[in-house]
Amino acid sequence: MDTFAQLLAGLSIAVSPHNLLFALAGVLLGTAVGVLPGIGPALTVALLLPVTYKLDPAGSLIMFAGIYYGGMYGGSTTAILINTPGESASMATALEGNKMAKAGRGGPALATSAIGSFVAGTIATLGLTFLAPTLVEIAVQFGPEDYFALMCVAFVTVSATFGDSPVRGLTSLFIGLALGLVGIDKLTGQARLGFGMPELLDGVEITTLAVGLFAVGEALYVASRRHHAPEQVEPVRGSLWMSLDDWRRSWKPWLRGTFLGFPIGALPAGGAEIPTFLSYAIERRLSKHPEEFGKGAIEGVAGPEAANNASAAGTLVPLLTLGLPTSATAAMMLAGFQQYGLNPGPLLFADHPQLVWGLIASLYIANVMLLVLNLPLVGVWVRLLAIPQPWLYAGILVFATMGTIAAKPSVMELAMLTVFGLMGYLMRRFDYPIAPVVVGIILGPVAEAQLRRALSISLGDPMVLVESPISATLLGIAALALIAPFVLKGLDRFRAQED
Partner 1 sequence: MSRIASRIFSETPVSRRLFTALGLALLAAPAGLSPAAAQMSDLKIMAPAAPGGGWDQTARSMQQAIVAANLARSVQVTNVGGAGGTIGIAQLVNGAKGDGNQLMVMGYVMVGAILTNKAPVTLEQVTPIARLTEETEAIAVPANSPLKTVQELADAIKANPAKVTWAGGSAGGVDHIAAALFAKAAGADPAKINYIPFAGGGEALAAVLGGKVTAGISGYGEFDSQVKAGKLRILAVTAKTRVPGVDAPTLTEAGLPLSITNWRGVVAPPGITAEQRAALTGLVEKMAQSPAWQDILKQKGWDGALMTGPAFDAFLKEENVRTTDILKSVGLVKP
Residue from 2, 17, 189, 244 in contact with partner 1 (CB under 8 A)? 189
The least distance separating partner 1 from the CB of residue 69, rounded to whole angstroms, comes to 19
Q: Show contacts with partner 1 in window 98-127 (CB under 8 A).
A: none
Residue from 36, 111, 152, 355 in contact with partner 1 (CB under 8 A)? 355
Closer Cβ to partner 1, 62 or 80, answer by number: 62
Q: Where are the beta strands (DSSP E) in 37-112?
A: none
Whats the size of the chain, residue-wise?
A: 499
Residue from 235, 323, 368, 477 in contact with partner 1 (CB under 8 A)? 323
Report CA-CA distances (Å) from 316 to 120, 148, 152.
14, 23, 25
Report CA-CA distances (Å) from 5 to 2, 65, 129, 277.
5, 22, 12, 37
Contact segment (CB under 8 A) with partner 1 among 56-64, 360-368, 394-402, 473-481 equals 56-64
Contact segment (CB under 8 A) with partner 1 among 95-103, 124-132, 298-306, 341-349 equals 341-349
CB 435 within 8 A of CB 239: no
Q: Is 82 in the site for partner 1 (CB under 8 A)?
A: no
Contact segment (CB under 8 A) with partner 1 among 363-371, 378-386, 450-458, 473-481 equals 450-458
Q: Is 28 in the site for partner 1 (CB under 8 A)?
A: no
Q: Where are the alpha helices (DSSP H) in 287-352?
A: 299-322, 328-339, 348-351
Q: Is 459 in the site for partner 1 (CB under 8 A)?
A: yes
Distance (Å, rounded) from C-alpha 419 to C-alpha 429?
Answer: 15
Q: Is 326 in the site for partner 1 (CB under 8 A)?
A: yes
Report CA-CA distances (Å) from 136 to 144, 147, 315.
16, 15, 11
Q: Is 206 in the site for partner 1 (CB under 8 A)?
A: no
Distance (Å, rounded) from C-alpha 247 to C-alpha 334?
Answer: 38
Closer Cβ to partner 1, 180 or 358, answer by number: 358
DSSP 183: E
Contact segment (CB under 8 A) with partner 1 among 222-230, 320-328, 425-433, 491-499 equals 320-328
Neighbour-count burial for 419-446, b at 16+ CB within 10 Å, e otherwise:
ebbebbbebbeeebbbbbbbbbbbbbbb
CB 162 within 8 A of CB 169: yes
Closer Cβ to partner 1, 58 or 110, answer by number: 58
**Per-residue contact flags (x/-) with partner 1 for residues 260 to 299, judged by CB under 8 A:** --------xx------------------------------
Report CA-CA distances (Å) from 216 to 123, 382, 461.
36, 21, 45
Q: Is 497 in the site for partner 1 (CB under 8 A)?
A: no
Closer Cβ to partner 1, 46 or 472, answer by number: 46
Residue from 15, 20, 24, 49 in contact with partner 1 (CB under 8 A)? 49
Residue from 74, 300, 358, 440 in contact with partner 1 (CB under 8 A)? 358
Closer Cβ to partner 1, 183 or 235, answer by number: 183
The size of the interface with partner 1 (CB under 8 A), counted in residues, is 69
CB 351 within 8 A of CB 12: no
Burial label for 343, CB within 10 Å (0-12, 13-18, 19+), is: middle
Contact segment (CB under 8 A) with partner 1 among 48-56, 126-134, 258-266, 392-400 equals 48-56
* Largest Cα–Cα separation, the chain: 78
CB 39 within 8 A of CB 328: no
Closer Cβ to partner 1, 5 or 187, answer by number: 187
Closer Cβ to partner 1, 282 or 359, answer by number: 359
Residues 6+ apart with CB under 8 A from 433: 162, 163, 168, 169, 172, 427
Q: Is 139 in the site for partner 1 (CB under 8 A)?
A: yes
Closer Cβ to partner 1, 145 or 292, answer by number: 145
Closer Cβ to partner 1, 188 or 497, answer by number: 188
Closer Cβ to partner 1, 32 or 373, answer by number: 32
Closer Cβ to partner 1, 415 or 488, answer by number: 415
Among the listed residues 446, 461, 476, the one whose alpha carbon sits nearest the alpha carbon of residue 144? 446
Distance (Å, rounded) from C-alpha 137 to C-alpha 114?
Answer: 32
Distance (Å, rounded) from C-alpha 307 to C-alpha 258?
Answer: 5
For partner 1, the binding residues (CB under 8 A) are: 13, 16, 18-19, 42-43, 45-47, 49-50, 53-59, 139-144, 184-191, 198-199, 201-202, 268-269, 318, 322-326, 328, 331-332, 335, 338-348, 351-352, 354-355, 358, 408, 453, 456-457, 459
